[in-house]
Structure 1
Amino acid sequence: MRAALLYNSAAGGATSEVELVSALERIGWTVPFRVSEEHLDPNLSEHADVVIVAGGDGTVATVAKRLARTELPMAIVPMGTVNNVARSLGLDLEPMAAIAGLAAAAKRRIDLGVLRTGSRESYFVEGFSAGFLGHVLGNKASDRHKKASRAFTLIADALETYPAHRYAVEADGRDLSGDYVLVAVMNARSLGPALALAAEAKLDDGRLDLVRIRRDEKGAIIEALRRAEKEEDLELPAFETSRVQRVRIHGLGHWAHLDDEPWELDDAVDIVTAAGAVHWLAPRQGVPNRT
C-alpha cells in the first residue's frame, strides 16, 4: 500500500512523524511522500493508494472534503485532543494502535453533510448547530481552549442565561418549528468539545440526525457539564432527535457552528446528506456495515 502522509504537527497528539512512518512500514505500507492541507490534490491517486490523515478533527474534515466524490480513500490516525470523527467511527484513539488496525483494513464509505445558504455551499463531517454552542465559540472565540474542562465551563456559564430562540425548522417535509436553545444537524455523534449531541448517529447510514433542545432541558445539560469539569466524564441526556435526509432552518440571526468553526448566519440554511461521498480505509475494529 503506497501512502501519502498528511501529518499535522500542531495537533494534540505526541507521536512524531518518524514514529508514524515506522509503524506504517511495519504493517507493510510505504510512505513515498508527504502532503500538506494546502497542497492536497485529489489526483494523488496516480501516485498513492491512500491518504493517511494524522491529525485532529479539523485536519480530517479538510481531507474528507477535498477527497469527496473521488476514488482516493483516506485513513485516519487520531492525533487531536477531541477526535469527534474518530470516536464516531469507533477507532482506537491511540495512534500506534490505530495504525496496527490498518494491517487488515477494508475499503468503506462515509457520508458528508452539505450546507447551502445563499450562494455559499459547504461540506461538513461532524455537524451544524444554531444556538448556544455557536454563541460560545463565536462570541468567546478568544477564550476558546482545547482542554475539554475549560470548554465545558464556558458552555455551562453561557447556557445559564442563554434564552430560547424561535427557529422555523422543516425536516423531510415535516414542520418541527419551535423555541429551542439549540438546533443541530449531526452527521457524527459529537460536535465541539466531544459533546455527544446525537449518541446514535452513524457516519455511514445516508442520514443526518436532527437534534432539538428546548429551554426546559438546559438544567440537565448544565449539570452534566459541571459534573464533567470534576470527573472528566461527560454523559449528556437524550434529546429530541429525528433521522432525516433534508433540513431547512430559518430565523437564525445568531451565531452558528459548522464542524469546528463558528459561523455568523443571518439567512435560512438548507442541509442535505451526501451519502457515501468519501472512501476510507476502516481498520479491523472500526468497520461500518455499508460498502
Structure 2
Amino acid sequence: MKIAQLLHNPGAGDEDHSKKELVDLIKSEGFDCRYASTKKGDWKELKSDVDFLVVAGGDGTVRRVAKHLLNRKLIEKPYPIALLPSGTANNIAGALNIPTDRPEPIVESWKADRRKRFDVGLVEGLPKRQFFLESMGYGVFPALMRKMKDQQEKSTDTPEEKMNVALDVLADIVQSYEARPCRINVDGIDYSGNYLLVEVMNTRSIGPNLVLAPAADPGDSQFEVVLVSESQRMGLVTYVQNRLNGIEGDYWGTALKGRTIRLKWDGVEMHLDDQLIKSKKPRDIRVMIHEGALSFLGVPD
C-alpha cells in the first residue's frame, strides 16, 4: 500500500473539506494516509517511507511545499506532488489540467501513477536567488497586487467573488497605467521597449485566472514571455472586461518562447508568483529554467 503524506491548508479558498474527510477519501482509494497541517511547523518533517505528497490548498500552498522540496539536498528522496486544489485561482492545477470541482476522481487517478515533470524558473539579480512556478514580471500585475493588499477582503467572499474584485481593480489599472521602458533580451534577441506588462510565464494563466499564454507548458523547458505595449492597451482592457462579464477566452497577444531572459525594468516593483517584491532601484535580472525540478502526480493524458 502506497503512503501519501497529506499537507493540508485548512484556510485555502472556500475550503470545506475537513481533515477527516480528506484522509477518509484518500484511504478509500487504497492509500495509506498521514496528515499534517501547513499551518503548523512540523509539516516539513517528511519521512523516507512516504511515496508521494498530497497538497490540499491553493497556489500559495503549492509554492510553500515546492520551496521546501527545492531547498532539500540532492541526495534526499524526491517526492512527486499530487494536488487537491482548493484555492482561489488554482493556476498550477489549471496548467496541469487537474479539475477543481470534485476531489474524488482526482484521488482515483493517482492509482495510474501518471507523472508530469514541472520546470521551475530561477531568478538571479536579487539579494538572493529566487524561484517561481507560475510567472514573474513587471507592470500592471505588481500594481494589482499592491492595490489588493489595501482591499478589505470579506471572509464570506467566494473564490469567484474574490477574483471578480481583482479583475475590476485590474481593469482600472490597465486603463491608466503608464508604460515604462524595459530592456529585454530573450535567448540573445533584443525586444526592449515601453510596456504596460512584462511577464515571464511558466503556466498559461496567472493572477485571477487570466490566460495570457495559452500555449504555455510547464514541462517543455521553455518560458513564454508576454509583452503588452501601449498599442496593445485596449486589447488587454477588453480581455479583462470580458472576463468580468463572464466571457471566457484567451488573451489575443503573442508570447515569445525562450529559455534565458535578461530584463531591466524602469521601476522598483516586481512579482514572483504571488509575492510582491520592491527594490531600492531598478535591477538587472536574469531568468533561467530549471528543467523538471518538480514532478506532479495524477495528470490526465
- TM above 0.5, yes or no, is yes
Q: Secondary structure of the residue that 1:257 maps to in structure 2?
A: strand
How many angstroms apart in 2 are the aligned matches of 1:107 and 1:87?
15
Aligned to 1:275: 291
Aligned to 2:9: 8
Matches within 5 A, 1:1-291: 1-12=2-13, 13-34=15-36, 36=38, 38-41=41-44, 44-68=46-70, 71-94=78-101, 95-143=103-151, 147-231=162-246, 233-265=247-279, 266-283=282-299, 285=300, 287=301
Deviations 1:225-266 (A, max 9, x none): 2232232x4424322311111111113324222111222243
Confirm or deny: 8 A CA contact 1:65 1:124 kept in the other structure.
no
Q: Which TM-score applies when normalising by structure 1? A: 0.90
Structure 1 runs not aligned, ≥5 long: none
Deviation string for 1:16-73 (max 9, x for gaps)?
22221111111111113425364343x7251311110000000011112222365111
Q: Distance in 1 between matches of 2:232 and 2:34?
A: 52
SS at match of 1:249: strand
SS in 2 for 1:44: coil
Q: How far 1:216 sits from its partner (Å)?
A: 1.6
Report percent identity of matched pairs: 28
Contact 1:84 1:126 in 2 (8 A): yes
> Any idea what SS the aligned residue of 1:226 has?
helix
Displaced runs of 4 or more, over 4 A: none
User: Using a 3 Å threshold, how does the CA distance of structure 1 residues 174 and 93 change in structure 2: closer, same or farther?
Assistant: same
Cα distance in 2 for partners of 1:108, 1:45 equals: 23
Corresponding residue pairs, total: 283
Contact 2:9 2:37 in 1 (8 A): no
Residues in 2 aligned to 1:278 and 1:140: alpha-carbon distance in whole angstroms: 30
Unaligned runs of 5+ in 2: 154-158
